[in-house]
Amino acid sequence: MSEQKYLHLNNGLKMPILGYGTWMASEEEITVAVNEALEIGYRHIDTAPVYLNEKAIGNVLQEWLSAGKVKRSSLFVTTKLPPPGNKPDLVESTLRKSLADLQLDYVDLYLIHTPFTVMLDENGEFKRYEDGTIMVDPSTDHAAIWKEMEGLVAKGLAKSIGISNFNLQQIERLRKHCTIQPQVLQIEYHIYLQQPELIEYCKASDIAITAYSPLGSKGVGALNKMVGVERELPDLLEVPEVKQIAKKYHKSAAQVLLRWIVEKGLSVIPKSTNSKRMRENKDIFDFKLSPEEIEQLNKLDANVRVVDFAFFKGVEKHPEFPF
């Protein structure tokens, strides 16, 4: 099995550099897939209440833990404070609900999923205007939410805390109000969206970065179609430079895309529910890109964001919408 590498977080804890993403997989799919992921050796699992699969993941984790097949201390489980829970008074109860679903006493990493807040209706569904667009709650107060996030660490409910989808200005502002600095920023990151300023800032501030949608997130296209968003998305697996490098190392295009990210010192969480591709995505520690190849891929940056939340129409009106 390939060696498992770690990123060292600013609180002294470590996070496996390679994780397993779980967005857009049904409970049935994810039950089979998380079992398989653990068999293959993934130990870092990324989920969120909005993925609607924490319960299924919790069942699998519980089976593995109670059978003694894995120790809690060797797992790294991340979940997120969802956009409707983005209010100080909801932080702890929202994490406690995730913990109950995941059947865990603590998560290794709790992230504020988005810098914006949305409203729920009386049935617990996203509150919408008549035209279907989401109603936002503009009262979001990052500093007050963060104080509650820090409280989760004090209570032992989260080992590390962080943010996701925050832009540089939002992080800079938040850091002025922190007792605990964010350990991790989770953002979309791949050859077409490299955000060098944001990455530089986080490196200088000792905030570890997790790259989401590293393969270009094919599922977003389907999601966009479902809600009527017409948008052509790039196919990162078909980029000629990536394919050419893959051929040289007898690796797949996906492996080159992932390897390029870990060589930059970022953590990466590809999602697959396909057994062969899950193995492929984990098998990226036995080859190394040359500095020229890394540079060749760096040059492909095109500032193309795939997860722009267009499928979540209305949130772009929130004063803290980050993009």
Size of residue set near ligand NAP by CB under 6 A: 29
Beta-carbon contacts of 12 under 8 Å, excluding residues fewer than 6 positions away, are none
Compare residues 183 and 272 and give the one whose CB is closer to ligand NAP.
Answer: 272
Taking CB under 6 A as the binding criterion, the range among 88-96, 223-231, 267-275, 285-293 that sits at the site for ligand NAP is: 267-275
Fill in the DSSP letter of residue 127.
Answer: P
How far is it, in rounded angstroms, from Cα 176 to Cα 147? 12
Cβ–Cβ under 8 Å, residues 193 and 305: yes
Cβ–Cβ under 8 Å, residues 296 and 241: yes
By CB under 6 A, residue 22 contacts ligand NAP: yes
Q: What are phi and psi of 163, to 5 degrees?
A: -135, 160
By CB under 6 A, residue 259 contacts ligand NAP: no
Element (H, E) at 144: helix 142-154
Fill in the DSSP letter of residue 89.
Answer: G
Rounded to the nearest whole angstrom, what is the least distance from the CB of residue 312 to ligand NAP in the complex?
A: 10
Residue 268, CA atoms < 13 Å, CB-side half-sphere:
30
Q: Is 41 left (phi over 0), alpha (psi -120 to 50) or beta?
A: left
Residue from 20, 42, 51, 189 carrying the catalytic annotation:
51
By CB under 6 A, residue 164 contacts ligand NAP: yes
Q: Which of 43, 183, 281, 283 binds ligand NAP (CB under 6 A)?
A: 281
Compare residues 176 and 250 and give the one whose CB is closer to ligand NAP.
Answer: 250
According to CB under 6 A, which residues from 174 to 233 bind ligand NAP?
186, 212-219
Show the site string, 282-321: x = touches ligand NAP by CB under 6 A, - = not.
Answer: -------------------------x--------------
How far is it, in rounded angstroms, from Cα 269 to Cα 42? 10
Other C-beta atoms lying within 10 Å of the C-beta of residue 285: 15
Beta-carbon contacts of 92 under 8 Å, excluding residues fewer than 6 positions away, are 148, 151, 152, 155, 157
What tokens were used for 234?
């790039």
Compare residues 129 and 235 and give the one whose CB is closer to ligand NAP.
Answer: 235
Compare residues 109 and 254 and give the one whose CB is closer to ligand NAP.
Answer: 254
Taking CB under 6 A as the binding criterion, the range among 19-27, 56-64, 86-94, 121-129 that sits at the site for ligand NAP is: 19-27
Report the residue number whose CB is nearest to ligand NAP. 21
Fill in the DSSP letter of residue 315.
Answer: G
Cβ–Cβ under 8 Å, residues 84 and 316: no
According to CB under 6 A, which residues from 90 to 149 bind ligand NAP?
113
Q: Is 192 a catalytic residue?
A: no
Compare residues 14 and 218 and give the one whose CB is closer to ligand NAP.
Answer: 218
Q: Which of 165, 183, 195, 267 binds ligand NAP (CB under 6 A)?
A: 165
Q: Active-site residue numbers?
A: 51
| Residues of the shown chain interacting with ligand NAP in the complex, contacts defined by CB under 6 A | 21-23, 46, 113, 164-165, 186, 212-219, 237, 252, 254, 269-274, 277, 280-281, 307
